[in-house]
Amino acid sequence: MNRYIYLLFIFIFCLSCKQHTRAQSKSENSEILAADRVQISYVDNVLRFLASDELEGRDTGSKGLEKAAQYIEEQFKQHDILPYFETYRDTFNAKGVPTYNLVGYLEGKDKALAKEFIIVGAHFDHIGKAKAVDGDTIANGANDNAAGSTAVISLAKQFAKYNNNKRSILFVLFGAEEKGLLGSKHLAQLLKEKNLNLYAMVNFEMIGVPLNDKPYKAYITGYEMSNMATKINEYVDATLIGFLPKAKEFQLFQRSDNYPFYKQFNVPCQTISTFDFTNYNYYHHVDDEASEMDFEFMTGLINQCFSAIATMANTINREVRLH
């Protein structure tokens, strides 16, 4: 055999070997990733507990809210999410009723970037009882906001499992949102006084039911205020987050727990939601129940949000910015 042809053969052989192992490791990786995703069974379990009748609609000051809190603390503990304060509870007074936010902490793994924080939040309180329908008076608040709470709890579990976030992350379940964003107002002020270096906040509200006929999976409030939606879509390589005109019309940016953080810190603090005013008839209604949730949809959304927030936590520069 001609020496050059021989060398050429060797070269092609090596190339194909390399490609083979590369393809193999890629498929192995995606299998590992699939097994490592947030599981639908977990999302289902958490949401069904939070929205169960036993919790009586999670009203501020109620035994039901206390049961929800103990359950969430147990999830945090099990998954090695630490309390950010002395305990998980950040207590405050909601118009004369003592209540609390729950604040879990996962420290950043990069010495310098660990000083920067991302807050992943959702309110876990609801309105307790509402107008009776067929003898049912418990407003279970499955979509509002057991769904968002389930996202935060699932994300905490997932981040703790990977445990490779460069920036630090706080996982917050807000109390007394339904009383006028009282929990988030309290915590935003407290963290501002402590000089927390906040990079961004991603809040979750009503993500249990898919949007009606939209080219994106969820919308973000305050869409035009920052490049957060664009960056999230870039990070997950999909049209995950879009602009919902109704969200702007009804000023939803100012109506959830992201708002007090934006006011205190003036950094991107926004809410991801899939409630579009046409896809769910049970807002603050006793029929807002777990049976109405689309768990497969929710789980997919949570997994994509995990990828997006994981990238946010690890980029060298603060890529998400206000316009």
Q: Considering the rule CB under 5 A, would residue 288 count as an interface residue with Zn ion?
A: no
Interaction residues for Zn ion, span 204-223 (CB under 5 A): 205
Among 75, 145, 150, 158, which residue sits at the site for Zn ion (rule: CB under 5 A)?
145
Interaction residues for Zn ion, span 178-207 (CB under 5 A): 205
Residue of 132, 53, 126 lying closest to 291 (CA atoms): 53
- CA–CA gap between residue 146 and residue 118 (Å, rounded): 21
- CA–CA gap between residue 272 and residue 221 (Å, rounded): 7
Q: For residues 116 and 178, which CB has a smaller minimum distance to Zn ion in the complex?
A: 178
Taking each helix axis from N to C end, the angle separating 258-265 and 182-193, rounded to the nearest 10 degrees, works out to 30
Residue ranges of E strands in 152-243: 168-174, 197-205, 218-220, 241-242
Q: For residues 108 and 148, which CB has a smaller minimum distance to Zn ion in the complex?
A: 148
Tokens of 39: 């599981």
Residue of 122, 113, 302, 104 lying closest to 217 (CA atoms): 302
Q: Are strands 136-138 and 129-133 parallel, antiparallel or unpaired?
A: antiparallel
Q: Considering the rule CB under 5 A, would residue 299 count as an interface residue with Zn ion?
A: no
Min CB(93)–Zn ion separation in Å: 21
Min CB(68)–Zn ion separation in Å: 14
Matching residue, tokens 């507990």: 49
Of 49-57, 77-85, 98-106, 139-147, the window that binds Zn ion (rule: CB under 5 A) is 139-147
Min CB(125)–Zn ion separation in Å: 9
Q: For residues 205 and 288, which CB has a smaller minimum distance to Zn ion in the complex?
A: 205
Min CB(284)–Zn ion separation in Å: 9
- CA–CA gap between residue 4 and residue 9 (Å, rounded): 9
Q: Considering the rule CB under 5 A, would residue 144 count as an interface residue with Zn ion?
A: yes
Min CB(112)–Zn ion separation in Å: 36
Contacts of 37 (CB under 8 A, 6+ apart): 158, 299, 303, 306
Q: Considering the rule CB under 5 A, would residue 150 count as an interface residue with Zn ion?
A: no
Q: How many Cα neighbours within 13 Å face the side chain of 226?
A: 25
Min CB(96)–Zn ion separation in Å: 22
Say how many residues touch Zn ion, by CB under 5 A: 3
Residue of 153, 24, 130, 179 lying closest to 76 (CA atoms): 153
Interaction residues for Zn ion, span 57-116 (CB under 5 A): none
Q: Considering the rule CB under 5 A, would residue 143 count as an interface residue with Zn ion?
A: no
Q: Considering the rule CB under 5 A, would residue 258 count as an interface residue with Zn ion?
A: no
Which residues in this chain contact Zn ion in the complex, by CB under 5 A?
144-145, 205
